[in-house]
Amino acid sequence: MPSISVIVPVYQAEKFLHRCVDSVCRQTFSDWELILVDDGSTDGSPALCDKLAARDSRVRVFHRKKNQGVSEARNLGLNEARGDYAAFLDADDCYEFHALETLWNLREQSGADAAACGLTYLFPDGKQSVQSQLPAGIFGQAEIREKLIDPLVGDRLAQPVFNGYSVCYLFSTDLIRKNHLVFDGPYLEDELFVLEYFCLARSLAVTDQPLYRYFLHGESATHHYMADFAQVFTRFMERKEALVAKYGLEAGRPQWRESSNWAGLLIAVGNEYARDNPKTIRQRQKAVKEFCRRPEMQKAIRELAPAGLNPNKQMVANLVRGKHFFTLTQLYRLKNRI
């Protein structure tokens, strides 16, 4: 039985998969299994998964005939995981070669329910940016609430936004299974999984070392138009409402809904002006107006004036609050060369 199960959802990842899998196979920590979940890929990913598994008996592959999304792929991986702890790795990213050893030793020595690390963003132009949102140390329940749960629930606008990436953590599979935790949805699924896990965890061990390499590129799902974003975000907020109520997280965060809805609104605007959106410019502008007219968005726009955003998002928020939708459209038209 391996100590760590590394779960990788694979969809149209033929270009990146070698790098991803090699980063696991070359770990200084050897007591792992790698679960590749081919989520209905139509490129060369299925055959490549099988080829990589044939090289190392610790690599297991599960194939799906139809694409069901990253959440269902991760859930399948969790169901099949044999390890005491689980880590999530995206197929277009990779680990530093001492990542698993560092996280395992950190958790083992502290006796914590989870371990966390920083990450390195790698941009297409070769630039890098290191992010360590949590300071190094051992956190008890009070510190987890202050430094992780409250930021995930409350302020989703002021920079730097606390990112609920599941890939930065080593999770207890026992805690996950006992509490029936699952990923849900095609977008923002990490945030709610991490939030609920740490509502249940007693302790967290953190290193600020950037052990995860996060590659930013145009082929990422977050760079493509999502036609059903409004429904996806509605489902996200329904689940977040349920978690806030279940774990009593509202105290001291009176405007968490408005902050979350503003964050969703800004994503929705960027989504409508994505380059691969097939709508005309007028249709996009109309869709943005309609999203802003939703009652929960009207309440957020009326009651909360975003501040502390990066300059581009601040400009978008100001234009939305002023109902300057024509100007907003022209700016995105220039920015994205629509």
pLDDT digits (tens, 9 = 90+) for 12-37: 999 999 999 999 999 999 999 999 99
Residue type, 249: L
**Helix (H) or strand (E) run with residue 206 in it:** strand 204-215
Q: Which region holds residue 305: left if phi is over 0, alpha if psi is between -120 and 50, else beta?
A: beta
The pLDDT value recorded for residue 187 is: 79
| Ranges of the chain with pLDDT below 50 | none
With vertex at residue 52, the alpha carbon angle to CA 46 and CA 53, rounded to the nearest 5 degrees, is 90
In 3D space, the residue among 251, 161, 152, 158 whose CA is nearest the CA of residue 199 turns out to be 152
pLDDT of residue 170: 98
Tens digits of per-residue pLDDT, 47-91?
A: 999 999 999 999 999 999 999 999 999 999 999 999 999 999 999
Helix 295-303 and helix 256-272: axis angle, to 10°? 110
Per-residue confidence (pLDDT) for residue 188, from 0 to 100: 85
Identify the pLDDT of residue 338.
83
- Contact in structure between 31 and 59 (CB atoms under 8 Å): no
**Axis-axis angle for helices 325-335, 311-321 (nearest 10):** 150
Give me the half-sphere count of Cα atoms (radius 13 Å) on the Cβ side of residue 315: 9
Q: How far is CA 154 from the centre of its chain?
A: 17
Q: What type of residue sits at position 65? A: K
Query: Before 160, cis peptide (omega within 30)?
Result: yes
